[in-house]
Structure 1
Amino acid sequence: MLEKKDLCIVHIGMPKTGSSTLQEAFDKGLNDSRVLYPKFPESNQSGRIYGLFVKNYLSYHFLAAQGVNDKEKLQLFRDKSRKILHDAFCSENKSIILLSGEDLFHMTEEEVINFKNFLDPYFKKIVIFAYVRPVKSLLESAFQQLVKYHKKNNLDPSSLYHRYKNFENFDKAFGSNNVLLYKFSKGDLIGSDIVLDFCKKLGLEDTYSDGKIFNESLSREAVAVLFTYHYHQKINSDFGDKKYLVANEFVELLRGISGHSFKFSSKYYERVMLQFESDYSWIKKRISDDFYEDIYADDLEGFSDEKDILLYSTRCIDFLLSLLKNKVVPFDVVDHPQTVAKLVDLIMVDIYKKMF
């Protein structure tokens, strides 16, 4: 009969809550000799764990990237992932297993129940842990990521807002007393260190981060340029299966635009909160920490709608021209968002030609 381990800690990496820093520390190993973090090819275990339980596997981006496009390949993938977890769960001299993945936040109620049923035979106790980011800063970060990597070209709140009630699926399956939720605020972290804060909150031996900061933020100017390019879809060249590589190269060039952080205005925030009022009310009651945000702090710099962003992008025309390095521009350069989009496309075509 399988001897159960004392504890499984499942870190749900809600987007933009320092998950990359935590996962790098987990993968290198915490100072607590009781803890084991199962070894997968990636420090972020999202795809390997969620891939075991996701119902609509053909639409899951991680499995698509792994070439899992039929049930036979899915079974092979799952068998391999289960074996890695089973071997870790049965390892000697380790009484605590630690798991972590951002995509776990998006699990449906059925998927969470299946996840729990998978873990139950191995552990005496299972604790779910998550940092929860307040909505304004979450929306701003989520928007950046979608603009950078998913050609986001509108401000539709439903595609940016992360429903906090997703946590309710874990409350129902594991019991709310086993689901630990903490407001994510860099200023409130113990020792200003998220790894140390995580360990302290869970009663683990102190471990400190290595000081490496995983910050993928772009300036508001860079975000505006990318958004404007995506907004003018008809201007976009088709780079086929190389589109992500070309886009990533261009994003790196945009890091050369210095400026302020991207912010939304209180007007936009108020529209979002009106749409998701019941969901946000739920998390404010559920979480023990103060969930207050000053939504008016950035009104002078915050964007309220698509037009605001498009107009702002024209400030970067000179920067975009500099990236072309005196190349002949086959259209009139006027102070207009379409000019921004056309210049970006010229630069991306140039990147494509140099890369391929």
Structure 2
Amino acid sequence: MRTCYLHIGMPKTGTMSIQASLGRAASLGDKFKYIVLDRQVNCSAALLEIFAGEVSLRDQELRAGWTPEQVQANQARLRQQLDGSFGTQHEAFILSGERLHNLTAPQLKDLREALARHVDQVKVVAYVRGAASWIESAFQQRLKTGSPADFNNLRNVLPKYRTKFQRFDRAFGRENVVLWPFNPAEFPGKDVVLDFCQKLGIPFDASQVIIDNEGVSVDGLALLYLYRRLAKQGKLSSQDKLDIRLLTRQLRDIEGDKMRLAPSVLKPYLELTADDMAWMEERLGSSISALPPARPGALSTEADLLTLTPRALTWLQRTLGEALPDSPTHAQVVAAMDLWLAGLRSQAARAGAGKSNAKTPRADRLAAARTAPNA
């Protein structure tokens, strides 16, 4: 029986490592094939474009000036690529995209029907992260991507389990949606890639695991939060979001502990989402509502996050040099980071121009789509 495993995350459950490891593996044996669309191991963008007509902000900029016919031609190209991914020599296929919860129920049914043309069954698979650790991780992710992130109001980082998963139950049938608790301590080698492969029966060598994690220490996040709090308030433009990503890449170099929230911060938000957690616990058959114990260094207030440690200031002084005075105020730190960011932006622009001149494969494909809308 031919099966397509549609892996949908959830986000913040090692999805990028699963995608990178399996998508770039030399072989998954004779039975399994990992599907890559548009040379991307994360197929979210391609699938959202095919089934929802949704195009990422980056691709919108690259496609400025496209006609409706060119847009349709690109969707058709991606659809043809998807259909062509299901050969006759494999029994099982893995298609992964953690942003598929952005599809509506009718769009998910269209996806199911498209996949069902090539396989006998479609199984949706996902890990489910506990609510407290989800809130911590999602808050950090919003900080790093330029999304609204306010330590004093974490309502926008609640997990919303029912909203994310119930539409898959309805579109694919609840019996075809398989959910697993995200408990790394219980995984083989504490590794989600190995656990994923074990669950599906994929032959995989642990030496091939690729750790794809853009983690930032609590000191790096403190600098990022301070900068956003003072320099990037309100709704961010697309350039602002690119700036935040540029800073994030640099701040990953600061070593240190992960950011943790104190139980006193998490407790009221867990109470807000109690009904949603109860729905998922019944659906999952496992607890996801536990409040973590008090941990050293956990943040209790926004002031804790805005207090820069000597390690953070030492790293910043070493990086920025004379631009940062001794014992700087918050305003001086942000002013120095602004100057630093201007330099990073110039470097990124030069690097982008170099890539454009070198005709990267992605640029070639986009240029071809512009000039050959009926291809």
Report if TM-score (shorter chain) is over 0.5. yes
Normalising by structure 1, report the TM-score: 0.84
Whole-Å Cα distance in 1 between the matches of residues 276 and 193 of structure 2? 29
The aligned counterpart of 1:339 is 332
Do the aligned residues in 2 keep the contact of 1:6 with 1:123 (CA within 8 Å)?
yes
Q: How far apart, CA to CA, are the structure 1 residues paired with 2:293 and 2:118?
A: 48
Deviating 4+ runs (over 6 angstroms): none
2:89 to 88, 93, 112: 93
- Matched residue, 1:38: 35
Q: Deviation at 1:25?
A: 2.8
Letter in 2 for 1:110: P
In the alignment, which residue of structure 1 is the partner of 2:278? Answer: 281
Q: Which residue of 1 aligns with 2:355?
A: none
Preserved CA contact (<8 Å) 1:249 1:351: yes
Instruction: Report the counterpart of residue 122 of structure 1 in structure 2.
Output: 118
Task: Check conservation: 2:277, 2:289, Cα contact below 8 A.
Answer: no
1:210 and 2:208 are equivalent in the alignment: yes
1: CA distance, partners of 2:101 / 2:26? 23
| TM-aligned CA distance change 1:137 to 1:29, over 3 Å | farther
| One-letter amino acid matched to 2:332 | T
Separation of aligned partners in 2, 1:36 and 1:353:
41
Which residue pairs with 1:158 in the alignment? 155
**How far does residue 235 in structure 1 lie from its aligned partner after superposition?**
8.9
- Partners of 1:66 and 1:100 in 2: how far apart? 24
Report the 3-state secondary structure (helix = DSSP H, G, I; strand = E; otherwise coil) of the residue aligned with 2:2: strand
Alignment correspondent of 1:263: 260
Contact 2:168 2:174 in 1 (8 A): yes
Per-residue CA deviations over 1:139-195 (Å, capped at 9, x if unaligned) read 222222221221644133233223211111111121222111001121111343333
1:134 aligned to 2:130? yes
1:294 Cα deviation after fit: 4.1
Q: For the residues of structure 1 that align with 2:74 and 2:281, how far apart are their CA atoms?
A: 39
DSSP-derived class of the 2:167 partner: helix
- 2:20 and 2:210 in contact (8 A); partners too: no
Deviates more, 1:254-263 or 1:286-295: 286-295
1:177-196 pair list within 5 angstroms: 177-196=175-194
1:256 is displaced (CA, Å) by 3.6
Q: Report if aligned partners of 2:146, 2:244 keep a CA contact under 8 Å in 1.
A: no
TM-score normalized with structure 2 length: 0.80
The residue number in structure 1 matching 2:369 is none
Are the counterparts in 2 of residues 31 and 207 from structure 1 also a CA contact under 8 Å? no
Per-residue deviation at 1:110?
A: 2.5
Matches within 5 A, 1:166-181: 166-181=164-179
Shift of 1:24: 2.0
Deviation at 1:349, TM superposition (A): 2.8
Is the deviation greater in 60-69 or in 138-147? 60-69
CA–CA separation in structure 1 for the residues paired with 2:238 and 2:312: 27
The one-letter amino acid of 1:39's match is V
Change (3 A) 1:305 1:30: farther
Which residue in the other structure is 2:14 paired with?
18
Aligned-residue offset at 1:275: 2.5
- Distance change in 2, residues 1:151/1:175 (3 Å): closer
> 1:297 aligned to 294, 298, 322, which one?
294
* Kept in 1: contact 2:135–2:158 (CA 8 A): yes
Q: Deviations over 1:101-130 (max 9, x none)?
A: 111133322222221222223221111111
Name the structure 1 match of 2:371: none
Counterpart for residue 232 of structure 1: 230
Contact 1:196 1:209 in 2 (8 A): no
Identical amino acids, percent of aligned pairs = 25
Give the structure 2 partner of residue 250 of structure 1: 247
Report the CA distance between 1:233 and its aligned residue: 2.8
Q: Deviations over 1:258-301 (max 9, x none)?
A: 22210111122122223222212211111133435342332x42
Alpha-carbon distance in structure 2 between the residues aligned to 1:84 and 1:37:
13
Deviations 1:77-115 (A, max 9, x none): 2211111111122x2212222201111133322222221
- Cα–Cα, structure 1 residues 209 and 50, in superposed 2: closer, same or farther, change >3 Å? farther
**Which runs of 5 or more residues in structure 1 are unaligned?**
none
Which residue of the partner structure matches residue 101 of structure 2?
105
Q: Contact 1:225–1:313 at 8 Å: present in 2 too?
A: no
SS at 1:145 equivalent: helix
Runs of at least 5 residues in structure 2 that lack an aligned partner in the other structure: 351-375
Shift of 1:19: 1.4
